[in-house]
Amino acid sequence: MNKSGLLFAALLALVLVSPAFRAEATGYDALLPLLVDLPGWEAEAADGADASVEGMRAVTVYRTYESGDRTFEVNLLFGTQAGMTWMPDYKEGWKMQTPEGLMEVKRIAGFLVYYMFENESNSGGIVVLIQEATTAKPDTGAVFAVSFEGLALDEALKTAQRFSWAKMKEQVGRLK
């Protein structure tokens, strides 16, 4: 095992044995119902993880949907990793389009949404800012992140909106 692999294993072991580690599912149980069934898509049950340690929140719920050769993967991230997913440069109105694809930030249903789409592969990603972190509390942010393959951008955006972003914001606000 190389040095970075050993370091990762050591950090993981530290998190797992730390008394501050929250092994109970209460950190993400309330978020699981937010990843609803999608008509016409097959999916396993939603799952999640709470890898929070003292001084750092890290809660994730996720689900993968399939329909033929199309995939739609969703993640609701709360805590430190949300801040790493939503970049401060994502400002409403930013747009870059090339023959290969599109990247844009716009407001949809009251939420800031960053999306990117690759024309050739008919794939891309969507990140919805559910709750912005503050400087004083950097681990309070939340994002809804989607990756998709085999869907046109308009269809992917419509599918992402089948999840209630408002309910996500409400539920994330209740997490302690």
81 lies in some domain: yes
| 8-63 residue pLDDT tens | 343 333 333 333 333 344 579 999 999 999 999 999 999 999 988 887 889 999 99
- The burial class, CB within 10 Å (0-12 / 13-18 / 19+), for 104 is middle
| 57-112 residue pLDDT tens | 899 999 999 999 999 999 999 998 887 888 877 899 999 999 999 999 999 999 99
E strands, 34-138, where?
Answer: 42-43, 47-50, 58-67, 70-79, 95-98, 101-108, 111-118, 123-131
Question: Is pLDDT larger for residue 7 or for residue 159?
Answer: 159
Alpha helices, DSSP H, located in the chain: 3-17, 80-85, 153-160, 165-174
Domain with 51 in it: 21-174
4 lies in some domain: no
94 lies in some domain: yes
138 lies in some domain: yes
Determine the Cα angle at 6 with ends 5 and 7, to 5°: 90
| 122-155 residue pLDDT tens | 999 999 999 998 777 778 899 999 999 999 999 9
| Tokens representing residue 109 in the block | 């249903």
98 lies in some domain: yes
- The burial class, CB within 10 Å (0-12 / 13-18 / 19+), for 158 is exposed
In this prediction the pTM is 0.82
Determine the Cα angle at 35 with ends 58 and 162, to 5°: 125
Please tell me the total count of domains within the chain.
1
Per-residue confidence (pLDDT) for residue 164, from 0 to 100: 98
User: What's the N-to-C CA distance of the chain in angstroms?
Assistant: 38
14 lies in some domain: no
Spatial CA neighbour of 113 closest among 94, 126, 101, 96:
126
5 lies in some domain: no
Per-residue confidence (pLDDT) for residue 26, from 0 to 100: 55
Q: Strand pairing partners for 145?
A: 75, 127
78 lies in some domain: yes
Per-residue confidence (pLDDT) for residue 176, from 0 to 100: 64
Distance separating alpha carbons of residues 174 and 12, to the nearest angstrom: 28
